[in-house]
Amino acid sequence: MIRFENVTTKNFDSLSFEIEKASAYKIITNSDYENRELLNIMLGLEKPEYGRVFIFNEDLCTLPEKELGRLFSRVGAVLIDGGMISNLKVWENIVLPVWYHSGKISEDIEKKAIQRFEETGMDISYLGELMGKLPGPLPVHEKRLIGFIRASLLEPELMIYDSIFEGLSPEMSETLIRVSGTFHSGKAGRTSVYITPDEQSVEGIKADTVLRL
Protein backbone atom coordinates (compact mmCIF):
# COMPACT_ATOMS: atom_id res chain seq x y z
CA MET A 1 0.00 0.00 0.00
CA ILE A 2 2.75 2.47 1.07
CA ARG A 3 6.44 1.73 0.79
CA PHE A 4 9.44 3.94 1.61
CA GLU A 5 12.80 2.73 0.29
CA ASN A 6 15.90 4.41 1.78
CA VAL A 7 14.23 7.82 1.83
CA THR A 8 16.64 10.59 2.76
CA THR A 9 15.58 14.19 3.42
CA LYS A 10 16.43 17.01 5.79
CA ASN A 11 14.76 15.09 8.63
CA PHE A 12 15.18 11.45 7.59
CA ASP A 13 18.21 9.30 6.82
CA SER A 14 17.60 6.16 4.74
CA LEU A 15 14.05 5.72 6.07
CA SER A 16 12.49 2.43 4.97
CA PHE A 17 9.16 0.90 5.95
CA GLU A 18 6.11 -0.71 4.38
CA ILE A 19 2.44 -0.35 5.27
CA GLU A 20 0.32 -3.31 4.25
CA LYS A 21 -3.13 -3.08 2.73
CA ALA A 22 -6.08 -3.32 5.14
CA SER A 23 -3.99 -2.33 8.17
CA ALA A 24 -4.25 0.42 10.76
CA TYR A 25 -0.82 1.96 11.25
CA LYS A 26 0.49 4.52 13.71
CA ILE A 27 3.64 6.48 12.87
CA ILE A 28 5.16 8.41 15.78
CA THR A 29 7.46 11.18 14.59
CA ASN A 30 9.96 13.16 16.66
CA SER A 31 8.68 16.66 15.90
CA ASP A 32 6.11 18.69 14.04
CA TYR A 33 8.74 19.30 11.34
CA GLU A 34 9.25 15.57 10.79
CA ASN A 35 5.51 15.10 10.81
CA ARG A 36 4.91 17.71 8.12
CA GLU A 37 7.70 16.47 5.89
CA LEU A 38 6.58 12.84 6.13
CA LEU A 39 3.00 13.82 5.34
CA ASN A 40 4.03 15.96 2.37
CA ILE A 41 6.12 13.12 0.94
CA MET A 42 3.24 10.66 1.32
CA LEU A 43 0.89 13.08 -0.43
CA GLY A 44 3.31 13.72 -3.29
CA LEU A 45 3.83 17.37 -2.32
CA GLU A 46 7.56 16.95 -1.67
CA LYS A 47 10.16 14.63 -3.16
CA PRO A 48 12.96 13.09 -1.13
CA GLU A 49 16.57 13.99 -1.83
CA TYR A 50 17.24 10.29 -2.24
CA GLY A 51 15.19 7.09 -2.21
CA ARG A 52 11.80 6.04 -3.55
CA VAL A 53 8.23 6.26 -2.32
CA PHE A 54 5.48 3.96 -3.56
CA ILE A 55 1.72 4.13 -3.06
CA PHE A 56 -0.40 1.40 -4.66
CA ASN A 57 2.90 0.19 -6.19
CA GLU A 58 3.26 3.49 -8.09
CA ASP A 59 6.51 5.45 -7.70
CA LEU A 60 5.55 8.97 -6.61
CA CYS A 61 8.94 10.34 -7.63
CA THR A 62 8.56 9.43 -11.30
CA LEU A 63 4.80 9.44 -11.88
CA PRO A 64 3.55 12.20 -14.25
CA GLU A 65 1.37 14.89 -12.66
CA LYS A 66 -1.78 13.70 -14.43
CA GLU A 67 -1.24 10.19 -13.09
CA LEU A 68 -0.62 11.56 -9.61
CA GLY A 69 -4.08 13.14 -9.70
CA ARG A 70 -5.62 9.81 -10.66
CA LEU A 71 -3.68 8.01 -7.95
CA PHE A 72 -4.62 10.43 -5.19
CA SER A 73 -8.33 10.13 -5.96
CA ARG A 74 -7.89 6.86 -4.03
CA VAL A 75 -6.34 8.62 -1.04
CA GLY A 76 -7.98 10.74 1.64
CA ALA A 77 -6.14 13.02 4.07
CA VAL A 78 -7.44 14.67 7.23
CA LEU A 79 -5.12 17.49 8.25
CA ILE A 80 -4.48 18.95 11.70
CA ASP A 81 -6.05 22.29 10.66
CA GLY A 82 -8.83 20.70 8.60
CA GLY A 83 -7.12 21.65 5.35
CA MET A 84 -9.96 23.84 4.14
CA ILE A 85 -9.76 26.79 1.76
CA SER A 86 -10.43 29.92 3.80
CA ASN A 87 -12.54 31.82 1.24
CA LEU A 88 -14.85 28.90 0.46
CA LYS A 89 -17.84 28.10 2.64
CA VAL A 90 -17.91 24.82 4.56
CA TRP A 91 -20.18 23.06 2.06
CA GLU A 92 -18.06 24.21 -0.87
CA ASN A 93 -14.98 22.85 0.89
CA ILE A 94 -16.65 19.51 1.59
CA VAL A 95 -17.67 18.81 -2.00
CA LEU A 96 -14.59 20.31 -3.68
CA PRO A 97 -12.64 17.01 -4.02
CA VAL A 98 -15.70 15.25 -5.42
CA TRP A 99 -16.21 18.04 -7.93
CA TYR A 100 -12.52 17.99 -8.87
CA HIS A 101 -12.41 14.25 -9.53
CA SER A 102 -15.89 13.67 -10.99
CA GLY A 103 -17.02 17.08 -12.29
CA LYS A 104 -20.42 16.85 -10.58
CA ILE A 105 -22.13 16.69 -7.19
CA SER A 106 -24.79 14.00 -7.07
CA GLU A 107 -27.72 13.77 -4.68
CA ASP A 108 -26.10 10.62 -3.27
CA ILE A 109 -23.02 12.62 -2.26
CA GLU A 110 -25.19 15.16 -0.45
CA LYS A 111 -26.99 12.37 1.40
CA LYS A 112 -23.71 10.71 2.30
CA ALA A 113 -22.31 13.97 3.68
CA ILE A 114 -25.37 14.45 5.88
CA GLN A 115 -25.15 10.83 7.03
CA ARG A 116 -21.49 11.30 7.99
CA PHE A 117 -22.38 14.39 10.01
CA GLU A 118 -25.07 12.40 11.80
CA GLU A 119 -22.52 9.69 12.61
CA THR A 120 -20.31 12.26 14.36
CA GLY A 121 -23.17 13.10 16.72
CA MET A 122 -23.33 16.70 15.52
CA ASP A 123 -26.67 18.45 16.06
CA ILE A 124 -28.36 18.27 12.65
CA SER A 125 -30.36 21.43 13.40
CA TYR A 126 -26.99 23.23 13.34
CA LEU A 127 -25.97 21.70 10.02
CA GLY A 128 -27.65 24.22 7.71
CA GLU A 129 -26.04 27.13 9.54
CA LEU A 130 -22.64 25.41 9.53
CA MET A 131 -22.68 24.74 5.78
CA GLY A 132 -22.92 28.46 5.02
CA LYS A 133 -20.04 29.51 7.25
CA LEU A 134 -16.46 30.25 6.32
CA PRO A 135 -14.11 27.80 8.05
CA GLY A 136 -11.69 30.28 9.64
CA PRO A 137 -13.59 31.05 12.88
CA LEU A 138 -14.69 27.45 13.50
CA PRO A 139 -13.32 25.56 16.53
CA VAL A 140 -10.54 23.11 15.71
CA HIS A 141 -12.59 19.98 16.41
CA GLU A 142 -15.23 21.09 13.88
CA LYS A 143 -12.54 21.80 11.28
CA ARG A 144 -11.16 18.29 11.72
CA LEU A 145 -14.59 16.66 11.60
CA ILE A 146 -15.37 18.57 8.42
CA GLY A 147 -11.98 17.57 7.02
CA PHE A 148 -12.78 13.93 7.78
CA ILE A 149 -16.18 14.12 6.09
CA ARG A 150 -14.69 15.78 3.02
CA ALA A 151 -11.93 13.17 2.75
CA SER A 152 -14.34 10.28 3.24
CA LEU A 153 -16.84 11.15 0.51
CA LEU A 154 -14.76 9.60 -2.28
CA GLU A 155 -14.54 6.36 -0.24
CA PRO A 156 -10.73 6.27 -0.42
CA GLU A 157 -8.81 3.02 -0.09
CA LEU A 158 -6.14 4.80 1.94
CA MET A 159 -6.84 7.38 4.65
CA ILE A 160 -4.04 9.43 6.22
CA TYR A 161 -4.65 11.30 9.48
CA ASP A 162 -2.35 14.17 10.44
CA SER A 163 -2.22 14.70 14.24
CA ILE A 164 -5.99 15.05 14.34
CA PHE A 165 -6.40 14.15 18.02
CA GLU A 166 -3.88 16.65 19.39
CA GLY A 167 -5.23 19.39 21.64
CA LEU A 168 -8.79 18.04 21.76
CA SER A 169 -10.96 17.39 24.78
CA PRO A 170 -11.37 13.68 25.65
CA GLU A 171 -14.93 13.81 24.33
CA MET A 172 -13.97 15.31 20.97
CA SER A 173 -11.00 12.97 20.65
CA GLU A 174 -13.24 9.97 21.31
CA THR A 175 -15.64 11.12 18.60
CA LEU A 176 -12.86 11.30 16.00
CA ILE A 177 -11.44 7.95 17.12
CA ARG A 178 -14.88 6.38 16.77
CA VAL A 179 -15.73 7.78 13.34
CA SER A 180 -12.28 7.05 11.90
CA GLY A 181 -12.45 3.49 13.23
CA THR A 182 -15.93 2.98 11.79
CA PHE A 183 -14.76 4.31 8.44
CA HIS A 184 -11.70 2.03 8.47
CA SER A 185 -13.82 -1.08 9.00
CA GLY A 186 -16.55 0.05 6.59
CA LYS A 187 -14.79 -1.18 3.45
CA ALA A 188 -12.77 -4.35 2.98
CA GLY A 189 -9.10 -3.64 2.35
CA ARG A 190 -9.14 -0.04 3.56
CA THR A 191 -5.90 1.21 5.12
CA SER A 192 -5.62 3.91 7.80
CA VAL A 193 -2.39 5.71 8.73
CA TYR A 194 -2.18 7.96 11.79
CA ILE A 195 0.86 10.27 11.86
CA THR A 196 1.69 12.32 14.95
CA PRO A 197 4.58 13.39 17.20
CA ASP A 198 2.26 13.00 20.21
CA GLU A 199 1.97 9.27 20.91
CA GLN A 200 -0.38 9.80 23.82
CA SER A 201 -2.95 11.41 21.51
CA VAL A 202 -3.35 8.15 19.53
CA GLU A 203 -3.46 5.76 22.49
CA GLY A 204 -7.12 5.09 21.78
CA ILE A 205 -6.41 3.91 18.22
CA LYS A 206 -6.26 0.15 17.77
CA ALA A 207 -3.37 -0.28 15.35
CA ASP A 208 -1.85 -3.35 13.74
CA THR A 209 1.59 -1.73 13.78
CA VAL A 210 3.29 1.19 15.52
CA LEU A 211 6.38 2.74 13.91
CA ARG A 212 8.45 5.09 16.04
CA LEU A 213 10.88 7.12 13.96
Residue 98 confidence class, pLDDT cut points 50, 70, 90: confident
Query: Does 69 have pLDDT greater than 90?
Result: no
Q: What b/e sequence results for 75-110 when a residue is b if at least 16 CB atoms lie within 10 Å of its CB, and e otherwise?
A: bbbbbbebbbeeeeebbbbbbbbbeeeeeebeeebe
How far, in Å, CA of 72 to CA of 60, rounded?
10
Is the pTM for the entire model greater than 0.75? yes
Arithmetic mean of pLDDT over the chain: 92
Task: Say which CATH class 2-212 falls into.
Answer: alpha beta
How far, in Å, CA of 144 to CA of 158, rounded?
17
Break the chain into its structural domains and give their ranges: 2-212
Read off the pLDDT of each residue in 45-62 and give the average, rounded to a whole number. Answer: 95
Query: Does 200 have pLDDT greater than 80?
Result: yes
